[in-house]
Structure 1
Amino acid sequence: MKATQQLHDLGQSLWLDNITRTLLDNGTLARYIAELSVTGLTSNPSIFDAAIGEGEAYDAGIHAKSLVGLSGETLFMELALEDLRRAADLFKPIFDATHQVDGWVSMEVSPLLAADTAGTITAAATIHAQAERPNLFVKIPGTPEGIPAIEEAIYRGIPVNVTLLFSCAQYVAAAEAYLRGIERRVAEGKDPQVASVASVFLSRWDVAANPQLPADQHNRLGIAVAKQTYRAYRELLASPRWQKLATAGARPQRVLWASTGSKDPNASDTLYVDALGAPDTVDTIPEKTLLAVGDHGKPGPALPMDGGDADAVLASVTAAGVNLDALATKLQQDGAEAFVKSWKQLLQRIADKQAALSAKH
């Protein structure tokens, strides 16, 4: 049995961390659904920047939208949502069969809004309405400014993928924002079923910390953070606060493992995916890593609910001189800045293509 099927049978959803028009056009995404247990998809500005930059798949769409006066973010949003609607429709049978637990796609609010709570709330509502698909998450960063926007979006009934979480503490802040949004809905007699996932980024911990650590501690930090976070997730689901909401009909905000491609050439290319199997979680996987897992992945035991060796690993990393709290803050800030850079590159790429295409026509 393929590792992807083993993880699916364990109760973990495997999502593809990629989208391109080519993947949709040539049937590759449909094949991943059929053969590699893929049950959802995530996107981000870097992914769309690469997709639009490669080849000519988007040229006709860019030119047609230019002719009706679209440009910049408005044009990009139309292009991205065209892809995501098609992907959402491919996943709709899974969405229906799992009673809306699985089968999701995700679209990010503009990273330029990362420090703008009100602007993020408005953008989330706009994307949700424009997408016209029940199985589309709006991605909102779990930055300090994003936390109140997450609560408000959930309260308004907008499904949210909380992105750019790195530490257990950042995860807990996002989970509590979700709980507050649902509690407000319950208090007003509104439907408590508003879906959400909380995306915790893992491999970047090791990229940042490995240079400061002895070789025998390399590539252990990201997995330890995941174990610590999984323990917090399980504790939350067992709490009286959550049980009260569950009784009212609410669904858990699932933890999602992101940044699960191995970035160390000396490590296994399936390192994180093999280590992070756990029921009631999601793993969003880069395409190259997904293919590696399907080919030779070897899932280990499910993540321990009590955190396993997480505390010991985190203590040893701290003893080696890594300030985990400071690094978590830096990783989140760096992640937000990287998305801004990709967003600006993306808009420039679209503007350049518009100019070239209008000159050609």
Structure 2
Amino acid sequence: MSDYKGVLHETAVRFPDTDIWMDSCGEEELDYGLERGIVGATSNPIIVGAVVKEELPYWEPRIRRLIAENPSATEDEITWLLLYEVGRERSKKLLPVFEKFKGRKGRLSIQVNAKYYRSRDKMVEQAVMLNTLGRNMQVKLPASAAGIEAMEEATYRGVSINATVSFTVAQAVAVAEAVERGLARRKAEGLPCDEMAPVCTIMIGRTDDWMKAATAAEGITVIPEALEWAGVAVIKKAYAIYKERGYTTRLLSAANRNVYHWSELVGGDLCQTINYKWQQRLNGGCDMPVEDRIGEPVPAEYLAALEKLGEFRKSYDEDGMKPEEFVRYGGFHDTIKTFLAGYDDLVCLVRGYMI
């Protein structure tokens, strides 16, 4: 009988550089993950909305109290006060991990307002505020041109960033370079950097999603299996660049869609944030061996098929896009719209208690 509680637990124990995170801040989800070796967690308005609805008996009195204590606040302001409460409270569950690893692990990522993706200054201001919610906060900013600029400034101000709405090698490199500039400014002023833990998300499942949508829209036929490897190819390419250049930022995979999104990254010095359902699926019934595969190339047949696609080349080539083009990438506008809709849904929930 195995000593491990599934393949993700085995990954966490046997490959401690491959961090497993929970893509949720729900109490049940965090408890499940912490029992199986997770060392981080992520949130966004969609995740927080789902958590509040799932745990409504717990959060409803908080919502009513926030409304009563802030009689002139708008529904958006109450929503953000709620987001702050969720982040402040759930980050505490990861504090023992944070303390054990001296700030390098054990963080909860919380996202700036998705509506700010074009405003460097608004993102920086909110990032600095979010960083005060707890010792182990990590602030998510979108990898738009303005977001890249905000990441440098937020890093300089001592915020551990998590780049989100990111799908491509070009975005990953731009993020890492921005963080290095911010860290260099801190070091030049003698400011501490030892406990900072920046990461750059590549939403590899959404990279796959966009390849499938783009090929369907253009009427292109591709080997179906190749489209399941697009995101893996992108993150493996970015990973090789990160290791070669020695960036401080670590990569974070997100948006799992298939087993390769876990298995092909095992052994890497990176993070994987995996939602509760996929954690249960992998831990409960995956018989794929836990092996170091980060250095294994994408099957040549699949990569050759993908490289014929213009949208894949935008994703895979380091110079596939310039920062000002990031917001026009299909995966970016699809995802930012999803985040905005998730935020609007949370506002609607709050509105129901205010009216």
Q: TM-score range by the shorter chain?
A: 0.7 to 0.9
Q: Say whether residues 1:116 and 2:125 are aligned partners.
A: no
1:58 corresponds to: 59
Q: Among 249, 252, 267, which residue is 1:253 paired with?
A: 249
2:272 corresponds to: 283
Q: Structure 1 counterpart of 2:203, which letter?
A: F
What secondary structure is seen at the aligned counterpart in 1 of 2:201?
Answer: strand
Deviation of 1:57 (Å): 3.6
Could you report, residue by residue, the CA deviation over 1:198-242 in whole angstroms, capped at 9, with x for unpaired residues? Answer: 1110111222223442324231111111211111111121xxxx5
State how far apart, in whole Å, the 2-side matches of 1:336 and 1:315 are: 30
Q: Structure 2 counterpart of 1:222, which letter?
A: G
Q: Say whether residues 1:6 and 2:15 are aligned partners.
A: no
Change (3 A) 1:67 1:284: same
Q: Structure 1 counterpart of 2:207, which letter?
A: W
Total equivalences in the alignment: 326
State how far apart, in whole Å, the 1-side matches of 2:7 and 2:148 are: 35
Change (3 A) 1:300 1:31: closer
Q: Structure 2 counterpart of 1:215, which letter?
A: P
What secondary structure is seen at the aligned counterpart in 1 of 2:25?
Answer: coil
What secondary structure is seen at the aligned counterpart in 1 of 2:165?
Answer: strand
Q: Say whether residues 1:334 and 2:334 are aligned partners.
A: yes
Counterpart contact for 1:202–1:223, Cα < 8 Å:
yes
Q: Say whether residues 1:19 and 2:28 are aligned partners.
A: no
What secondary structure is seen at the aligned counterpart in 2 of 1:165?
Answer: coil
Q: Say whether residues 1:317 and 2:326 are aligned partners.
A: no
Structure 1 stretches of 5 or more lacking a match?
A: 243-251, 263-268, 356-361
What secondary structure is seen at the aligned counterpart in 1 of 2:251?
Answer: strand
Q: Among 226, 231, 245, which residue is 1:236 paired with?
A: 245
Could you report, residue by residue, the CA deviation over 1:125-151 in whole angstroms, capped at 9, with x for unpaired residues? Answer: 12222x0x1111011111111011000
**Superposition pairs of residues 1-361 of structure 1, within 5 angstroms:** 1=4, 2-8=6-12, 9-10=14-15, 11-20=17-26, 24=27, 29-34=30-35, 36-54=36-54, 55-69=56-70, 70-129=73-132, 131=133, 133-193=134-194, 194-210=196-212, 211=216, 212=220, 213-237=222-246, 252-260=248-256, 262=257, 269-297=258-286, 298-299=288-289, 301-305=291-295, 308-309=297-298, 313-319=302-308, 322-325=311-314, 329-355=329-355
What secondary structure is seen at the aligned counterpart in 2 of 1:338?
Answer: helix
Counterpart contact for 2:22–2:41, Cα < 8 Å:
yes
Identity %: 24
Counterpart contact for 2:141–2:162, Cα < 8 Å:
yes
Structure 2 stretches of 5 or more lacking a match?
A: 316-320
Deviation of 1:300 (Å): 5.2
What secondary structure is seen at the aligned counterpart in 1 of 2:159?
Answer: coil
State how far apart, in whole Å, the 2-side matches of 1:154 and 1:311 are: 38
Counterpart contact for 1:151–1:181, Cα < 8 Å:
yes
Q: Which moved more, 1:168-177 or 1:346-355?
A: 346-355
Could you report, residue by residue, the CA deviation over 1:80-107 in whole angstroms, capped at 9, with x for unpaired residues? Answer: 2322233222211111111211111011
State how far apart, in whole Å, the 2-side matches of 1:135 and 1:312 are: 43
Alignment root-mean-square deviation, CA: 2.3
Change (3 A) 1:345 1:164: same
Counterpart contact for 1:12–1:282, Cα < 8 Å:
yes
